[in-house]
């Protein structure tokens, strides 16, 4: 089905243009122009979005987002609206995310009925996830899903790049229960090389989301030769620990894709070193999904070291927590259990 444009939020008039206020690029558009994201455009005096739609619709576990401290084992009905505010050269989902930026990426999405989606999610006591592409571009869809799901006990979660304005953070926090944000690097040059954007707004978004009560987890892709070394990882770990040492940090093994096809995957030794760095900087929960086995996925009590949540790959193994506390020593383990 072709693109369907619907009214968008977060915009204002600016010197004869309409300025989008969703991401920090803040595109100021003439009539008929589309923003850098390719999915928000000006029409007359208003802004429109094409993202009340999804390219995928399937079930998977919340652990796959990854969200390890949010309702372990919860099934997620996952959607993905095309488009992204970043142009990451390693993106494994580039055939959806790079719509509007890469000519070979075609529109392939169907309209979403929020009541129908949340009804299906409620039937499995699940949540709705927006992932694979940039969910903040679907903030209107997010709000509609959250409003439809609230009476049913269905929450919305995101996997996001975190490139949001303060206005977008404020709106998202009303509707998103949990988010995993990619923090790729804090180095200005490297971040621009990877994404086409600066890193500062991502850290600001982390702070804003956490302050507003959204459950927050962070992922960092370890790209050999660029973001896999201590010069990248230690500043990230230090920044996260300063914000909240209980933030779960997921170290992601880079899989060569898109413009990095043919590059080597992340060595296991780099992932092991990243875990040590996170722990040295004071982070309580540092995870590696597969390369370090079940041990790399386990949640441990920060006080006694006992395993309190065991996980399979993309699935819950066993949740031993008692009302969010360690069954051995009684210490609280932070999360939305």
Which tens digit of pLDDT belongs to each residue from 164-223? 999 999 999 999 999 999 999 999 999 999 999 999 999 999 999 999 999 999 999 999
Q: Are residues 121 and 191 in the same domain?
A: yes
Pair 209, 168: CB distance under 8 Å: no
Average pLDDT score over the chain: 94
Which tens digit of pLDDT belongs to each residue from 63-101? 999 999 999 999 999 999 999 999 887 878 877 878 867
Q: Are residues 309 and 245 in the same domain?
A: yes
Q: Are residues 23 and 168 in the same domain?
A: no
Q: Are residues 40 and 57 in the same domain?
A: no
Pair 206, 258: CB distance under 8 Å: no
- Which of these, 63, 207, 212, 48, lies nearest to 129 by C-alpha position? 63
Residue 105 backbone phi and psi in degrees, to 5: -85, 115
Task: Show binding-site residues for [4Fe-4S] cluster.
Answer: 84, 88, 91
Q: Are residues 34 and 111 in the same domain?
A: no
The answer to the question of residue 216 being in a domain is: yes
Q: Are residues 163 and 182 in the same domain?
A: yes
The answer to the question of residue 334 being in a domain is: no
What is the mean pLDDT of the segment spanning 248-254? Answer: 95
pLDDT (0 to 100) of residue 118: 98
Confidence band of 259 (pLDDT split at 50, 70, 90):
low
pLDDT tops 90 at residue 265: no
- Give the percent of the chain with pLDDT over 90: 87
pLDDT (0 to 100) of residue 77: 98
The answer to the question of residue 202 being in a domain is: yes
Pair 283, 247: CB distance under 8 Å: yes
Q: Are residues 112 and 35 in the same domain?
A: no
Which comes out higher in pLDDT, residue 1 or 307?
307
Q: Are residues 120 and 202 in the same domain?
A: yes
Angle at which helices 166-173 and 200-211 pack, to 10 degrees?
30
Q: Are residues 15 and 75 in the same domain?
A: no
Q: Are residues 249 and 108 in the same domain?
A: yes
Which tens digit of pLDDT belongs to each residue from 18-28? 999 999 999 99
The answer to the question of residue 332 being in a domain is: no
- Which of these, 197, 266, 260, 198, lies nearest to 233 by C-alpha position? 266
Q: Report the predicted TM-score, pTM, of the whole model to 2 decimal places.
A: 0.95
Task: Show binding-site residues.
Answer: 84, 88, 91
DSSP structural state of residue 37: T
Tell me the residue range of the domain where 269 lies.
53-319
pLDDT tops 70 at residue 235: yes
pLDDT tops 80 at residue 104: no
pLDDT (0 to 100) of residue 214: 98
Pair 154, 128: CB distance under 8 Å: yes
Total structural domains within the chain = 2
The answer to the question of residue 331 being in a domain is: no
pLDDT (0 to 100) of residue 147: 98
Confidence band of 33 (pLDDT split at 50, 70, 90):
very high
Q: Are residues 108 and 16 in the same domain?
A: no
Confidence band of 262 (pLDDT split at 50, 70, 90):
low
């Amino acid at each position: 089905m072709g693109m369907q444009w619907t009214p968008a939020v977060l915009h204002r008039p600016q010197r004869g243009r309409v300025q989008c206020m969703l991401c920090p690029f803040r595109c100021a558009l003439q009539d008929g122009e589309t923003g850098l994201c390719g999915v928000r455009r000006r029409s007359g005096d208003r802004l429109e979005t094409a993202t009340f739609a999804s390219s995928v619709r399937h079930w998977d576990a919340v652990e796959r987002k990854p969200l390890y401290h949010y309702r372990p084992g919860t099934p997620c009905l996952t959607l993905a609206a095309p488009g992204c505010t970043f142009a990451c050269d390693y993106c494994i989902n580039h055939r959806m995310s790079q719509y509007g930026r890469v000519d070979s990426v075609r529109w392939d999405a169907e309209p979403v009925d929020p009541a129908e989606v949340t009804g299906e999610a409620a039937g499995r006591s699940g949540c709705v996830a927006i992932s694979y592409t940039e969910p903040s571009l679907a903030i209107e869809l997010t709000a509609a899903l959250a409003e439809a799901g609230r009476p049913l006990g269905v929450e919305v979660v995101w996997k996001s790049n975190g490139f949001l304005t303060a206005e977008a953070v404020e709106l998202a926090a009303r509707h998103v229960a949990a988010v995993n944000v990619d923090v790729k690097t804090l180095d200005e040059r490297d971040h621009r090389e990877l994404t086409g954007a600066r890193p500062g707004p991502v850290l600001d978004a982390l702070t804003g989301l956490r302050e507003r009560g959204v459950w927050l987890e962070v992922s960092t892709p370890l790209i050999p030769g660029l973001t896999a070394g201590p010069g990248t990882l230690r500043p990230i770990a230090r920044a996260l620990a300063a914000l909240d040492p209980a933030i779960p940090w997921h170290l992601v093994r880079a899989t060569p894709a898109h413009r990095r096809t043919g590059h080597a995957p992340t060595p296991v030794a780099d992932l092991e070193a990243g875990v040590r760095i996170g722990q040295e900087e004071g982070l309580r929960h540092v995870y590696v999904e597969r390369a370090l086995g079940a041990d790399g996925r386990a949640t441990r009590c920060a006080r006694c070291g006992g395993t309190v949540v065991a996980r399979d790959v993309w699935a819950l193994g066993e949740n031993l927590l008692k009302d969010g506390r360690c069954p051995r020593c009684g210490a609280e383990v932070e999360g939305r259990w």
